């Protein structure tokens, strides 16, 4: 088995192409990594209203190596369905991903090919485990990008609207019940951080191995930070609630003070799905860029990255990418979860407004500091997040599972 080639089916809650935001980037890096190791891959993904594109735009080369197929599912919130769900005790988050069309396509794929591994990307595709079991002898793996219910618990905890808080707590509770209850249905679990792995080990008997987010170091080419604009930036999909809430908090509690003291310091906000309130933002020296053509080029053009996150789970890919490009990152402790960082050496941790203000002022007054931190950040990421090495660990886990099932 050591030298044999595997046939792996990836079932994705979003298309891994184009890799424009965290989830698709993480999925795509693993998929391409497995292919580069000589194994056969098939991708079956959802094309949604939230992450939608024309399948005809997928490059031929990508189609050929991934055999990607897509099924459209409307994930829009339907008020009547959401209301009726309140009386079922089921997770509305998960229920939205159940699709007859997707199930039929999955059965078709499983009947045409024999797979050694079926890797389910995110908890939300778990309703298809039974279909896989009935139509395949493959080992089924959960690639856990987050502890999903923890995100919603944290969002609920910082929500001020009383009615919204009650509803978010309900969503978190039903999602937690589902998440804990489904774990033992898997043959293996692959969380993205050591901290998340502790949760999965505590609530399941399923084998767990941590495989963090990996970057292709051949694509990470930093620009000398001294040649970049000394400016602050944030990059991330703004339809992800923790990102939107974090930036709103930063603008209200940190930026006013900073911009009043430093007239020429600018804040650039980049990412998909900018909310209307942010597009109309008139705060001093705030430039709302929106979606950028190339994330690496944008990151390379600025000096200081911020990640003011107070909810979420897993690992923040844009922090990893910013550090890999030698940028200094200022993050909350929650934002930096999953990274083996050392505060003030390869990242700056700031958990409240005063700490954020102090961190920014310190970098403005000591330019050598952000150069040093950025250099140390890149060294850490190249050591801990090399995609090639991480995929080796994943392949070993695959083969151990297959051997145990035979």
pLDDT tier for residue 83 given thresholds of 50, 70 and 90 = confident
Percent of the chain with pLDDT over 90: 83
- Joined together, the tokens standing for residue 384 give 């801990």
For 168-212, the pLDDT digits (tens) are 999 999 999 999 999 999 999 999 999 899 999 999 999 999 999
- d(C-alpha 372, C-alpha 368), whole Å: 6
Mean pLDDT of 253-261: 96
For 353-406, the pLDDT digits (tens) are 999 999 999 999 998 899 999 999 999 999 999 999 999 999 999 999 998 876
pLDDT confidence of residue 76: 87
pLDDT tier for residue 2 given thresholds of 50, 70 and 90 = low
273 and 186 within one domain? no
229 and 194 within one domain? no
More confident residue, 77 or 305: 305
- Residue pair 377/346 in contact (Cβ under 8 Å)? The answer is yes
pLDDT confidence of residue 220: 87
Local structure of residue 326 (DSSP, 8 states): T
Does residue 303 lie within any of the structural domains?
Answer: yes
CA distances from 401 to 8, 187, 190, 404, 406 (A): 13, 7, 12, 5, 9
Does residue 243 lie within any of the structural domains?
Answer: yes
111 and 228 within one domain? no
pLDDT confidence of residue 49: 86
- Residue pair 4/38 in contact (Cβ under 8 Å)? The answer is no
Does residue 1 lie within any of the structural domains?
Answer: no
- Joined together, the tokens standing for residue 80 give 């009547």
More confident residue, 218 or 298: 298
pLDDT > 60? residue 1: no
225 and 354 within one domain? yes
Residues 6+ apart with CB under 8 A from 351: 332, 333
329 and 262 within one domain? yes
**Tokens 């006013």 identify what position?**
256
Does residue 2 lie within any of the structural domains?
Answer: no
Does residue 370 lie within any of the structural domains?
Answer: yes
Number of domains in the chain: 2
For 26-47, the pLDDT digits (tens) are 999 999 999 999 999 999 999 9
- Residue pair 53/132 in contact (Cβ under 8 Å)? The answer is no
Question: Does pTM top 0.85 for this prediction?
Answer: yes
207 and 221 within one domain? no
273 and 195 within one domain? no
- Residue pair 96/82 in contact (Cβ under 8 Å)? The answer is no
**What is the CB-side half-sphere exposure of residue 159 using CA atoms within 13 A?**
17
Does residue 167 lie within any of the structural domains?
Answer: yes
**Which domain does 208 fall in, by range?**
7-214+386-405
126 and 205 within one domain? yes
- d(C-alpha 55, C-alpha 99), whole Å: 19
221 and 209 within one domain? no
Q: Domain containing 229 — which CATH number?
A: 3.40.50.2000
- Joined together, the tokens standing for residue 318 give 């844009």
For 376-391, the pLDDT digits (tens) are 999 999 999 999 999 9
Percent of the chain with pLDDT over 70: 99
217: left (phi over 0), alpha (psi -120 to 50) or beta: alpha
pLDDT confidence of residue 311: 83
190 and 86 within one domain? yes
pLDDT confidence of residue 50: 81
CA distances from 291 to 165, 236, 239, 255, 315 (A): 30, 9, 12, 22, 21
**Tokens 């099932």 identify what position?**
405
396 and 335 within one domain? no
- Joined together, the tokens standing for residue 256 give 């006013």
244 and 203 within one domain? no
Phi, psi of 275, deg, nearest 5 = -70, 155
pLDDT > 80? residue 166: yes
CA neighbor of 228 nearest in space, from 26, 371, 51, 379: 371
pLDDT > 80? residue 3: no
């Amino acid at each position: 088995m050591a030298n044999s080639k595997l046939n792996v089916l990836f079932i994705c809650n979003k298309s891994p192409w184009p890799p424009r935001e965290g989830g698709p980037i993480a999925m795509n890096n693993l998929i391409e990594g497995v292919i580069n190791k000589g194994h056969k891959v098939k991708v079956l993904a959802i094309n949604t209203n939230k992450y939608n594109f024309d399948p005809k735009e997928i490059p031929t080369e990508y189609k050929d190596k991934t055999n990607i197929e897509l099924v459209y599912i409307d994930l829009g919130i339907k008020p009547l369905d959401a209301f009726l769900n309140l009386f079922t005790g089921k997770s509305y988050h998960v229920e939205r991903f159940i699709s007859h069309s997707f199930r039929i396509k999955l059965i078709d794929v499983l009947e045409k090919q024999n797979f050694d591994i079926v890797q389910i990307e995110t908890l939300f595709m778990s309703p298809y485990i039974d279909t896989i079991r009935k139509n395949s002898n493959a080992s089924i793996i959960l690639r856990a990008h987050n502890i999903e219910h923890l995100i919603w618990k944290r969002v609920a905890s910082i929500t001020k609207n009383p009615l919204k808080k009650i509803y978010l707590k309900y969503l978190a509770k039903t999602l937690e019940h589902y998440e804990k209850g489904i774990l033992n249905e898997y043959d293996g679990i692959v969380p993205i951080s050591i901290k998340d792995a502790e949760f999965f080990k505590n609530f399941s008997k399923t084998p767990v191995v941590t495989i963090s987010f990996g970057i292709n170091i051949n694509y990470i080419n930093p620009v000398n930070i001294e040649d970049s604009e000394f400016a602050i930036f944030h990059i991330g999909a703004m339809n992800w609630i923790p990102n939107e809430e974090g930036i709103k908090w930063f603008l209200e509690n940190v930026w006013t003070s900073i911009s009043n003291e430093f007239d020429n310091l600018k804040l650039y906000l980049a990412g998909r799905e900018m909310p209307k309130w942010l597009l109309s933002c008139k705060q001093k020296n705030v430039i709302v860029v929106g979606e950028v053509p190339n994330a690496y080029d944008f990151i390379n053009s600025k000096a200081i990255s911020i990640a003011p996150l107070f909810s979420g789970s897993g690992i923040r890919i844009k922090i990893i990418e910013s550090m890999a490009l030698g940028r200094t990152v200022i993050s909350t402790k929650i934002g930096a979860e999953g990274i083996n960082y050392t505060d003030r050496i390869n990242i700056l941790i700031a958990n409240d407004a005063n700490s954020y203000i102090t961190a920014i002022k310190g970098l403005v007054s000591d330019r050598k500091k952000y150069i040093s931190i950025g250099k140390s950040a890149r060294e850490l990421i190249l050591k801990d997040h090399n995609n090639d090495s991480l995929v080796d660990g994943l392949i070993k886990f695959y083969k151990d599972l297959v051997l145990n099932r035979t």
